[in-house]
Amino acid sequence: MRNHKPILSLVSPCYNEQEVLLQSVHILAARLTQLIDKQIIHNDSFICLVDDGSNDDTWQLIENCSQKYHCVSALKLMHNVGHQNALMAGLNFVADKCDCSISLDIDLQDDLSTFETMLELYEQGNHLVFGVKKNRQKDSILKRMSARLYYRLLQLMQIKSVYNHADFRLYSKKILQLLQDIPERNLYLRGLCANLNCKVGYVEYDIKERQAGTSKYTLGKMLSLAWDGISSFSIVPLRAFTFIGFFVFLISVGLSIYVLASVLFSDSVVPGWASTVLPIYFLGGIQLLGLGILGEYIAKVYLEVKKRPRYIIEEKITTQKAPVAK
């Protein structure tokens, strides 16, 4: 048991969230006050909002919130770098300012009543506590089905992951510090955390409806996250092509022997159109697909070696030491 109350930070990336922001910050600040009153967390605990290059009034509203609630700190990123990188910016920012941190989406679909259990598990020495969705009834059928399929795929590729866990997580200071030293650009935080091999806990919860506004995860962003999840942890797609290549090579050898034998031992050889064209299409297709996958991995290596910053912080707001909410 620790002998002082932990300073907790709540980290939330926000992208074009003007509809939901005020309401959510109000709820989060009230929740922090509650936890402070219950003497579960230190009264220096705070919220960190990361504006992921929004082009609506999100930043202005965050500025207003920081005036109204002394516990609000914030980062404004210059460009939209995506949820994962924005979250990483927030976690790196709070790492030396708190004892533990909880990441959550600003639409508050995650269940804030699990905070107590998460903190209890943290006090018991868990470095990570994963929020696990009990059901996905609030998600669309398409999202539910694609999620299930995706977890299967991860399993098939032997990528360690936590089923039905997104980015609602508690991190200990050790993990926050560790994350500061991870320079990966192709970020898939939930996979990274699942593979850290430290002591972890789980809390189950029911996912809620978005408080307001619409999803900021476009199909493109979702597919790109899914691909990051696979390509950052597995070389199975590349290896699969070595096997497919070998298999196709064996078939070609068989076909060549057949053609040679036909030419040598048969006198009525009329090469058919299909047997000429099909292998060309087949081999061409396989090769292009293989090259594409190879290219994808090379592109990732290329992005990593450039070592460009993951995000650029344009502005920072730090908390004012005072009561949590006015």
Contact positions vs Mg ion (CB under 5 A):
105, 107, 109
Nearer to ligand UDP, 92 or 126 (CB): 92
Q: How far is the CB of 215 from Mg ion (least distance, A)?
A: 6
Which of Mg ion, ligand UDP, none does 13 bind, CB closer than 5 to 8 A by kind? ligand UDP
Nearer to Mg ion, 212 or 236 (CB): 212
Look at residue 93 and give the partner it binds from ligand UDP, Mg ion, none, a contact being a CB closer than 5 to 8 Å depending on partner kind: none
Question: What are the backbone dihedrals phi and psi of residue 74, each rounded to the nearest 5 degrees, phi first?
Answer: -160, 155
Residue 228's binding partner, choosing from ligand UDP, Mg ion, none, with beta-carbon cut-off 5 to 8 A by kind? none
- C-alpha to C-alpha distance for 169 and 181, rounded to whole angstroms: 19
Q: Which does 17 bind (CB under 5 to 8 A by kind): ligand UDP, Mg ion, none?
A: ligand UDP
Residue 223 or residue 244: which is nearer to Mg ion going by CB?
223
Considering CB distances under 5 to 8 angstroms, the limit depending on partner class, which of ligand UDP, Mg ion, none binds residue 114? Answer: none
Q: Minimum distance between the CB of residue 222 and Mg ion, rounded to whole angstroms?
A: 12
52 binds, among ligand UDP, Mg ion, none (CB under 5 to 8 A by kind): ligand UDP
Q: How far is the CB of 74 from ligand UDP (least distance, A)?
A: 13
Handedness of CA 98, 110, 115, 70 (dihedral sign): positive
With CB under 5 to 8 Å by kind, the binding choice for 19 among ligand UDP, Mg ion, none is none
Q: CB of residue 221 vs ligand UDP: minimum separation in angstroms?
A: 6
Interacting residues with ligand UDP (CB under 6 A): 12-15, 17, 52, 80, 82-83, 86, 105-107, 109, 215-217, 221
Question: Could you write out the DSSP letters of every residue in 216-232?
Answer: ---HHHHHHHHHHHHHT
Q: Which is nearer to Mg ion, 53 or 290 (CB)?
A: 53
**End-to-end alpha-carbon separation of the chain, Å?**
32
Closest-CB residue for Mg ion? 107
Asked if 187 contacts 310 with a C-beta cutoff of 8 angstroms, the reply is: yes
* In the complex, minimum distance from the CB of residue 98 to Mg ion, in angstroms, rounded to a whole number: 24
Q: Which is nearer to Mg ion, 23 or 33 (CB)?
A: 23
173 touches which of Mg ion, ligand UDP, none (CB within 5 to 8 A by kind)?
none
10 Å Cβ neighbour count for 112? 19
Name every residue whose Cβ is closer than 8 Å to that of residue 301 and which is 6 or more positions away in sequence: none
Contact yes or no for 226/166 (Cβ under 8 A): no
Minimum distance between the CB of residue 52 and ligand UDP, rounded to whole angstroms? 4
Helix, strand, coil percent values for the chain (each to nearest 5): 50, 15, 35
Tokens of 148: 């299930």
Please, are residues 191 and 91 in contact by the beta-carbon 8 Å criterion?
no
Assess contact for 73 and 28: CB atoms under 8 A: no
Cβ nearer to ligand UDP, comparing 70 with 138: 138
Three-state DSSP state, 282:
helix
Q: Which residue has the tokens 């903190």?
A: 119
With residue 312 as reference, give the H or E element that holds it: none
CB nearer to ligand UDP: pick between 112 and 121: 112
Query: What's the min distance (Å) between Cβ of 12 and ligand UDP?
Result: 6
Q: Which two tokens stand for residue 183?
A: 């320079």
User: CA separation (Å) from 204 to 54, 132, 133, 134?
Assistant: 31, 5, 6, 6
How do beta strands 46-51 and 165-172 pair?
unpaired
Closest to ligand UDP by CB, 202 vs 217, is 217
Least distance in angstroms from the C-beta of 70 to Mg ion: 27
